[in-house]
Copies of this chain bind each other. A is one copy, B any other.
Amino acid sequence: MIEISPETVAQLLYLVHTDPEELQEALGELRPPDIAEALKELPPEAAAKVMAALPFDLAVQVFDEPELTRHRCAIIQHIDPRRVGLLIEAMSSDQRADLFREVEEKDRIRLLATVSEPTRVNLRKLLKYPTSTAGGIMTTEFVSVPSDWTVHQALALISEVGGRKETVYAVYVVDPKSEALVHVVSLRELITAPREENVMDIGSRRPPLTVTPDTDREDAARLISKYNLLAIPVVDAYHHMLGIVTVDDVIDTLVEEQTEEVQRFGGMEALDAPYMEISFLGMIRKRAGWLCALFISEMLTATAMQRFEGEIERAAVLAMFIPLVMSSGGNSGSQATSLVIRALSLQEVRLRDWWRIAMREVPTGLVLGAILGLIGFVRIVLWQEMGIFDYGPHAFLLAVAVGLALVGIVAFGSFAGSMLPFMLKRIGFDPASASAPFVATLVDVTGLVIYFTVAFAVLHGTLL
């Protein structure tokens, strides 16, 4: 396992300025993704010199690494313009489109002038699609053959173009007249088939699985993962091949979606950039919006508390358990929410299953609430009996009130936490992006009302 250490980066930086030959030798031992990782750590000028020291083929591979996305624009400024044109021309089409997405307007025009007309057309085609769609992550390099070819012809074509195409492991068979996609064969099926057979006669007889350029990239990823594909074809309304989404893209998509899910779950906008690379102001912007929205909706707790001011004045001891009771509701709500969000995104449950979930969450919440209620009850009685704290003459009733309130609050938390993702999804929101923090607010406010209502019922005539 090779990992780029700060020492390797420092050594490269040193060699850039001293010994070009030794630099080449040091680079020769690294794989393209490792070189890309090192380039991210170098100042753009030094990174450009490293790129210049690489053999062209390797330079293209390094430049094609998706993790370099955010750095390519800066590095390009320091590379000889003629070499830049060649590099861009040789990149894979999806990474090239990403580069043009990142680059500034004025540089875009200059860069477009360095590439050939077919590449420009290709770029224009790819840049139409947002990166959240299959069209936005597809590559236009793939192998396709007419449906009247033999296995031998197809294999011969692959041996010839194989070095250039992003994936040769699936061959797309198109009708010679309509140019529509009619069949997909894997290289594995080709290589084990008799050479003189027609490509249409090998592989599965089912119509090929396809997506459109507007398909959500997550759905494309799910299909590739479910059907164990190495790539899925992207077709237009006439079933013409536009490109393919490969399994590499799926992995990148999964990792990115996971990051977004975790960040949204933490109650903020997705950063869309590595933590250390985002600016201070950018960070504030991504976090302040949600934090303010939550703060303003949490103000409802203050409004709720105002209604119970009298109770608190009469029995300050009640206030002591507010944080405990509130947080328990929040915790049970957060468990339920995370379970349901995940089950929804894995499609283990669908929208119409909401009542099946409710039927599970309410009893689960009641049992969990009873466990916590019992612990809370014992805690108060024990502290009172052991003389650790004096809750006053009605300590036992207070313990009953806290215990009962916990049952209600935890059960409500589980119920609300599990239902909110369904509601958000029903009205067209992404459940992952809002559920967790909103559940907390909802459960906090309701929890206070439950707590004081139960306390009033139990302690009326004694403490209250």
Contact = CB atoms under 8 A, between A and B. Distances in A.
Nearest to A301: B323
B266 A296 contact: no
A18 interface: no
A416 to B, nearest CB: 14
A306 B192 contact: no
Contacts of A346: 255, 259, 274
Interface stretch (A48-56, A115-123, A335-343): A335-343
A87 interface: no
A313 interface: yes
Nearest to A2: B209
Nearest to A256: B346
Given A312-B312, A348-B275, A368 B268 contact: no
B340 A275 contact: yes
Contacts of A113: none
Q: For the complex, would chain A's binding face be called helix, strand, loop or mixed by DSSP majority?
A: helix
- One complex includes copies of this chain to the number of 2
Given A262-B342, A276-B353, 12 more contacts: A158-B191, A160-B192, A163-B192, A169-B187, A169-B188, A268-B338, A275-B357, A276-B356, A291-B368, A295-B331, A301-B324, A305-B323
Interface of A: 1, 29, 31, 33, 155, 158-160, 162-163, 168-169, 187-188, 191-192, 204, 206, 209, 211, 219, 223-228, 230, 247-248, 250-252, 254-255, 258-259, 261-263, 265-268, 271, 274-276, 280, 283-284, 287-288, 290-292, 294-296, 298-299, 301-302, 305-306, 309, 312-313, 316-317, 319-324, 326-328, 330-332, 334-343, 346, 348-349, 353, 356-357, 360, 363-364, 367-368, 371-372, 375-376, 379, 389, 410, 436-437, 440-441, 444, 448
